[in-house]
A and B are shown apart, each in its own frame.
Chain A
Amino acid sequence: MTARERADRLAGLAFVSPALLALAALTVYPGLWVLWLSLQQRVPIFGIARFVGLEHYAFLAGDARFWNAGRVTLVFTAVSVGLELALGLAVALALQRQRAGRRLALSLLLLAWALPSVVTAKLFEWLYHPSAGLVNVILGGHAFNWLGDPRLALPGLIAADVWRTMPFVALLCYARLLTIAPEVYEAARVDGAGRGATLAYVTLPLLRPILLIALLFRTLDALRAFDLMFVLTGGGPASTTETLTVYAYRSLFQTLQLGFGAAVGCVIFALVMLVAWAYLRALRGEAATA
């Protein structure tokens, strides 16, 4: 390394250090503190603070409520993100072809995305109302018990989440579609590609990186899903919609078992980091081949 290179590197470090320090102060320090907290039995209202090592994790390993919350979180994430990507892509492609009313369609999409999630939840509370709700009326007057039936509650929440966040995927894809040069499509047509072939061999490969980014964002968001279930079902019925974050919130803020709640929080953190790491690897591979 030449002296010039070394100086550049030092200057670079100096420039990023404020950001790194801020990041460390705001995330690394509290993160380590939560990890330390998770190794203690800490219940401030009883003045209890003692080191218990991995006891909370051992309890979680055999805790049916915890495993159920983990399963709910994974099912919710996989199904809602899958649907959001598929529908978002379809909507983006439809928008690309649409001639009239595109502006209106975009505004409507943005509206669903921009609503605060608690408002969305309250909206769906009435849409799902068994006797007065629009959903059951549209379905032909059936009295489906959307939020109170253990088989329907999670699908109901997934549908609400898809409604709310599909626009995010659609807008990302649509933005990328706008940047694809018309010449690419012309070339495909000249080569004799039909609609299906153009989609499969031209559009989708070009959308791949943006889809991966949407997938990353949406997965990380869905793994931490909280507000919809908290407002709509409170995690019920029978905890069929209780995600890990709802479980952590109940342990931490409602029952004030700080150590135990921190342990649940650490598990969520590990899960999210694992998924983020896997995606970032995939993205890096993508960048290398592109």
Chain B
Amino acid sequence: MKSQISSVFNECKKENRPALLTYTVAGDNSKKKSLEILKSISGYADILEIGFPHNAPTADGPQIQNSSYRALKKGIKLKDVFQIVKEYKKNKNAKPCILMGYYQMVYRYGEKKFIRKCKQAGVNGLIIVDLPWPENKAFARSCKKNSITFIQLLSPTTSKERMKKIIASSHDMIYYISMLSTTGGKLKVSPRKILENYNKIKKINKSKNLVIGFGITNKTIGALKKSDGLVVGSLLCKEIEKSLKKRQNPVIKLNKMVKELRKKIS
């Protein structure tokens, strides 16, 4: 059976546009609000990446760090993260959900139990930032057995040899990190160069859905639309921070922002 993630990419391809993937942190700035945000943006987003926060993140820029700290300050636990996904998935038009975070959280929770809880909650995919290939082989296999897509990451530093091996052991979606950066950095590589690298990866295996993330904003997203999918995260986390500071409702603000992003790639 085709995964829900694959079906979404197919739908988008039919519409001749990339899939829009959003990233927000579960529990930012409360359990209730983050669930409302997911519900509200899923009218325009195709896949929802949901961060499970950790307090020693080694690959995140300030926006996602702050988002995580806000959630942790409210006492968010992994069980709440699963609860949020479960609640969200009760909606009739729920989009595929990908949980994203650091291995320490999975390790502490126990790999098996973590995967089981993901499955129960309706999680469709997992990104574990600091569990690279080949160390992730066994974990990725367990995910697959449980019909969860384990998403491999590729970066500009990944050699072609290594890329081939990673792609060969990947599932139906791969994530390309656009540049040498933590999340949310300023795009220091031209979109043209990013697409050039993107096409090199696609050449290795056309059938894999390849998304681009890191540094994508409303200003740069249009230039990258010749791809299978685009991830916007830090921009959304920053918008939550901004609206909290101005005492505005982040749900409304994010809805508007994701609507605009979608427009730019449609």
Physical interaction between A and B: no
Residue ranges of B at the interface with A (Cβ–Cβ < 8 Å): none
Residue ranges of A at the interface with B (Cβ–Cβ < 8 Å): none
